[in-house]
Chain A
Amino acid sequence: MNGTLAAVLAVSMVLFSLGLLAALSRRDAIFMLIGIEMMLAAGNLNLVAFWRYGPQPELLTGAMMALFAMAIAAGETAVGLALVLAVYRHRRTTQVEKLNTLKG
C-alpha cells in the first residue's frame, strides 16, 4: 500500500468513518448533519482522487461528479437544518432521543 492514490483513499476512508461515528453516536440532530456532511466530503475526495489517477482525466468525469455532489450536499444541508429548526420550534429540543412520539 504505497503511492499517493492509496494514501488519499486511506485519508478519505478514515474521514468517512469519522463522519459515520458522528452520525451514529451523537445525540444531537445538528451533529448528525455534520457527520453526514463529512461522509459526503469523503466521497467527493474519492471522486477527485480517482479522476486524477484514472485513465482519462481530460474528460473531467470525476471532477464533474464531485461538483454536482457538492451542489446536492449544499441543498441537503439547507433542508436538513430547516427541518431541525422546524422541529425545535415545536418541541423545544434538537436531541433525537427525545423525539420519540411515534415509538410504540
Chain B
Amino acid sequence: MNPGIPFILIAALTLSGALAAAILPNLVHAALSLVLAFVGLAAFYFLLGAEFIGLVQVIVYIGAVAVLIVFTILLTRPAVAQRGDLNWGGVLVAIAVMSGLLWALARTALPANATAAAPMTVMRVGQTLMGDYVWPLQTVGIVLTAALIGAVVLVMEEDR
C-alpha cells in the first residue's frame, strides 16, 4: 500500500508550515505557520485512525499553545528583532541529524500494512484511561497543576 494523494497533500502542508515556522524572520508569521503545521499533524492523526488524538491536537495545540505563543510575542513586542539571520552551525547539525535518521529509516524493514483493529472510540479511550492508566492520569493532573501554578508565580509582579 503506497501513500495516496491525501497523504502527500497533508505531508506537504505540514512540512511547509514547519519549514516556514523554522526560517521566517518575523515571529508572528512563524507562529501562524506553526498553526499550519499543527493542522497538518491533526490531519495525519485522522488519517491514521486516531480521531480522538487529532481532536486533542486541535484543541490543545491550536487552541491553547499557539494562542499562548502569540500572546507572549505580543507582550514582548518591542524586543522582537526583525533580523532573519540563522546560526549556520545549527542548520548543519539539523541537516546531519535528518540525513542520519533518513538513512536509518531506509535500512530498516517495517511492516507495510496496518493490523486490523477495533476503532479507537472515545469510550475505549475513557475505559483505558480510567483502567490501566489511572495512575499516570492522576500524575499528569498533578504535573499540570504544578506547571500552571509555577507559570503564574513566575510572571507575578514582585513587591520590593
Contacts and interface: CB of A to CB of B under 8 A. Distances in A.
Interface string B1-20: 11100010001001100110
Interface of B: 1-3, 7, 11, 14-15, 18-19, 21-23, 27, 30-31, 34, 37-38, 41, 44-45, 48-50, 52-53, 56-57, 60-61, 64-65, 68-69, 71-73, 75-76, 78-81, 83, 85-91, 93-95, 97-98, 101-102, 105-106, 110-115, 117-118, 120, 124-125, 128-129, 133, 136, 140, 143-144, 147-148, 150-152, 154-155
A68 B136 contact: yes
Interface of A: 1-11, 13-28, 30-31, 33-35, 37-38, 41, 44-45, 48-49, 51-60, 63-64, 66-68, 70-79, 81-86, 88-89, 92-95
Contact of B151 (A14, A68, A78): A78
Given A10-B102, A75-B143, A84-B76, A25 B91 contact: yes
Contacts of A73: 65
Contacts of A84: 72, 76
Query: Nearest 5 A-B pairs (CB), nearest first?
Result: A25-B90, A24-B90, A75-B147, A17-B98, A21-B94
Contact of A52 (B18, B49, B98): B49
A30 B85 CA distance: 15
Interface centre among B18, B73, B118 (most CB of A within 10 A): B18
Chief secondary structure at chain A's binding surface: helix
A81 B118 contact: no
